[in-house]
Structure 1
Amino acid sequence: MDDIASIRSRYLEQVAQADSPDALESVRLAALGKKGEISLKMRELGKMTPEERQQAGPALNALKTEIDAALRARKAALEDAALDERLKGEWLDVTLPARPRRMGTIHPVSQVMDELTAIFADMGFSVAEGPQVESDWYNFDALNIPPEHPARQEHDTFFMHRREGDNTPPHVLRTHTSPVQIRAMQDQGAPLRVIAPGRVYRMDMDQTHTPMFHQVEGLAIDRDISMANLKWTLEEFCRAFFEVDHVELRFRASHFPFTEPSAEVDIRCSWQGGQLKIGEGDDWMEILGSGMVHPKVLQAGGIDPNEWQGFAFGVGIDRIAMLKYGIPDLRTFFEGDLRWLRHYGFSALSVPTLAGGLSG
């Protein structure tokens, strides 16, 4: 036991005098390594008598534990001292302001989609979504679009590639969000009030057309819906979206395969000094198409046209964004110019609400 006391005193002194991690590691190996002095003492227990082992065993275990604890404490102290020394040379004033970072902005299309959703949600419409790659049936046949219609030609529609020998009608990149209305009717039945915002694709490209653009279409089905309900809905939408107290709409007879009767809708406006003003003046501007849902379209959606009727409308999201926010060229929506995005973009905190103002 006197030998253990001597070993304890010697190694505790060496641990206390170690002034670097390497020196401390040397002490650890000398004491507790595989060939360390204390480790060799532990191996000698097997050669002792039970009485000697009963006395020496606990003493050696206590010695090993005490030396190990001293090593750990000294290591932590050396690391803290090294950190303090390094911080003296690497001092940093954390109270200084950070480097300025540019904030991202919400794209006008995303902002307008949120505005539309807020407006129509207030009127009881929910949002419906569907795939952008559609079958020929959902995109054309279910919407009463005949085989000879120009929209079903390659100069107007993007058709998907078919494998050799496959004679089934090819899938298409949807040319409108009207297929979502068919899917909503099939899934939810009647009565129904939904809007379907999303990307659509047509083969066109100039200052006012792009191959990919955005639409929102609305559908309302009930037992006693009429054109009067359609007119009120569109007037309320235009008044809320353009944030004016009064709007005047003009319905012109038109033809769409999926509605009967059909109407193009114009809004009264004026152009003064190149600035558009909605709800006043002597000019009219076309903004959307609408009509009463064709009975064949209701049937395709699984709804009995003898019991139910409804209205539908479609608006170009990019177009009305241009009108509201004074954006002159449709192509700039998709060019990813950061200067354009910083100018026309919206703060992430500008969440559209009818109470707080759509534009934030």
Structure 2
Amino acid sequence: MTDLIQLQTELMARIDAAQDLAAVEALRVEALGKSGSISELLKSLGRMSPDERREQGPKINGLRDAVATALATRKAILEEAELDAKLAAERVDLTLPPPPERRGRVHPTMQTLDEMIAVFADMGFGLAEGPDIEDDFHNFTALNFPPKHPAREMHDTFWLPDGPTGERKLLRTHTSPVQVRVMQKANEKLPSWIANGQEPPIRVIVPGRVYRSDSDATHTPMFHQLEGLVIDRDITLGHLKWTLDTFCRRFFETDAVVTRFRPHHFPFTEPSAEMDVQCDRSGGSIKIGQGSDWLEILGGGMVHPNVLRNCGLDADEWQGFAFGLGVDRLGALKYGMPDLRDMFASDVRWLEHWGFSAFQAPNPATGLS
């Protein structure tokens, strides 16, 4: 009896002193394992007389139960302490905002350009492109600009240094040179990266960057332009008006758009006109399709016979119309951006505010995101 009490006292003390789960497990094996001290005592009951078993059995079983309970209690205490320590070390403060996640955005200019291309593509226009660096013939002469026209002067045009042969290149002031290249005969052997010339009928749009020495809230030295060209037989100014009216209704996503044509002058079209849209300027913003004010948004007209002849086409057989729109300016009007210069300022905050998600639902007017 004294030996059992001493063994229980010793085991209880060691269990209470165990500092980790490994120590508790070692004590369990030592006391209750197959060859443990208490297990050996239980085995000895078989060698005892019936009277001894009746006396010692309850005491040994009581010792086993007491030690097992102490081991389970100590194990639970140590597991809870270990979990608390782990939680304290790996705690995440859910009250803090998540770190900002940088996501790419579609620039408003590219969004606007995609919408414009989609509208004209639905009307059967193809796409043509050309070089940003042009020569005088394609940028001016072929488009019926007189030799002393003000647009040739330095205050409007970015001229490049004279070449080895004395020819001066320039940054194109409009995308109209691509119209010239499209109208020129296909046997000009144009480089593959320039839109190939083709015979009429022609129906193309020409998007791209253009450059002019001008900068204020509504003008930038580099901007994006989209021009259109249609060449066929029996083309009239009425075809031009229908094309531009249809474009405005679809682009601004309202059938309430009202337009008007005002006579104007462009060297490459005759007759020429500027087109206004009816708008409301109240409240510090411009709202298209309502109000009683007018806003000029584009220019166009019937292709000048001299331009047709300069491009190798018979002006007595072919005629057509051309027009030009500022991509950045139309985007600013549609989405309410006040200053065109912000579109080229490379300000990530501005782009996060005005940019478009590449994964947003398609625009019902254009079919584009």
Give the TM-score normalised by structure 1. 0.69
| CA distance, structure 1, for counterparts of residue 323 and residue 272 of structure 2 | 9
Deviations along 1:79-103, one digit per CA (max 9) or x if unpaired, are xxxxxxxxxxxxx9xxxxx976321
Q: Does 1:171 align with 2:169?
A: yes
Q: How far 1:143 sits from its partner (Å)?
A: 0.2
| CA distance, structure 1, for counterparts of residue 109 and residue 332 of structure 2 | 10
| CA distance, structure 1, for counterparts of residue 361 and residue 154 of structure 2 | 40
Matched position secondary structure for 2:227 = strand
Q: What letter is aligned with 2:236?
A: S
Q: Does 1:231 align with 2:241?
A: yes
Other-structure match for 1:13: none
Matched position secondary structure for 2:103 = coil
Other-structure match for 1:123: 123
- State which of 268, 272, 282 in structure 1 corresponds to 2:278: 268
Q: How far 1:272 sits from its partner (Å)?
A: 2.8
| CA distance, structure 2, for counterparts of residue 356 and residue 252 of structure 1 | 28
Q: What letter is aligned with 2:151?
A: A
**Mapping of 1:262-341 within 5 angstroms?**
262-341=272-351
Contact 1:118 1:352 in 2 (8 A): no
Other-structure match for 1:106: 106
Contact 2:263 2:273 in 1 (8 A): yes
Q: How far 1:163 sits from its partner (Å)?
A: 4.5
Other-structure match for 2:136: 136
Q: How far 1:271 sits from its partner (Å)?
A: 1.9
Deviations along 1:216-254, one digit per CA (max 9) or x if unpaired, are 000011101101010000000000110012221111001
**Mapping of 1:52-201 within 5 angstroms?**
101-163=101-163, 166-168=165-167, 170-186=168-184, 187-201=197-211
Q: What letter is aligned with 2:108?
A: P
Q: How far 1:205 sits from its partner (Å)?
A: 1.3
Matched position secondary structure for 1:161 = strand
Q: How far 1:155 sits from its partner (Å)?
A: 1.3
Q: What letter is aligned with 2:217?
A: Q
Deviations along 1:102-149, one digit per CA (max 9) or x if unpaired, are 211000011111001100000000111000000110000000001110
Q: How far 1:167 sits from its partner (Å)?
A: 3.0
Q: What letter is aligned with 1:324?
A: K
Q: How far 1:343 sits from its partner (Å)?
A: 0.5
| CA distance, structure 2, for counterparts of residue 325 and residue 103 of structure 1 | 21
Other-structure match for 1:202: 212
Deviations along 1:237-288, one digit per CA (max 9) or x if unpaired, are 0001100122211110010000000001111111232232212221110000
Q: What letter is aligned with 2:183?
A: M
Q: What letter is aligned with 2:166?
A: N
Instruction: State the aligned residue count.
Output: 261
Give the TM-score normalised by structure 2. 0.68
**Mapping of 1:213-228 within 5 angstroms?**
213-228=223-238
| CA distance, structure 2, for counterparts of residue 100 and residue 209 of structure 1 | 34
Matched position secondary structure for 2:281 = strand
- Larger Cα Rg: Structure 1 or Structure 2? 2
Q: What letter is aligned with 1:172?
A: L
Other-structure match for 1:252: 262
Q: What letter is aligned with 1:197?
A: P
Matched position secondary structure for 2:155 = coil
Q: What letter is aligned with 2:181?
A: R
Q: What letter is aligned with 1:244?
A: T
Contact 1:115 1:352 in 2 (8 A): no
Structure 1: unaligned runs, 5 residues or longer: 1-91, 93-97
Q: What letter is aligned with 2:259?
A: L
Contact 2:251 2:365 in 1 (8 A): no
| CA distance, structure 2, for counterparts of residue 354 and residue 171 of structure 1 | 43
| CA distance, structure 2, for counterparts of residue 352 and residue 319 of structure 1 | 22
Cα distance change on mapping 1:333 and 1:341 into 2, 3 Å: same
Matched position secondary structure for 2:290 = coil
| CA distance, structure 1, for counterparts of residue 308 and residue 359 of structure 2 | 41
Q: How far 1:154 sits from its partner (Å)?
A: 1.0
Contact 2:253 2:365 in 1 (8 A): no
| CA distance, structure 2, for counterparts of residue 163 and residue 157 of structure 1 | 17
Q: What letter is aligned with 1:115?
A: E
State percent identity of aligned pairs. Answer: 61
| CA distance, structure 1, for counterparts of residue 232 and residue 361 of structure 2 | 32
Report which stretch shifted further, 344-353 or 257-266. 344-353
| CA distance, structure 1, for counterparts of residue 336 and residue 225 of structure 2 | 19
Contact 2:205 2:227 in 1 (8 A): yes
Cα distance change on mapping 1:355 and 1:151 into 2, 3 Å: closer
| CA distance, structure 1, for counterparts of residue 320 and residue 163 of structure 2 | 40
| CA distance, structure 1, for counterparts of residue 146 and residue 365 of structure 2 | 45
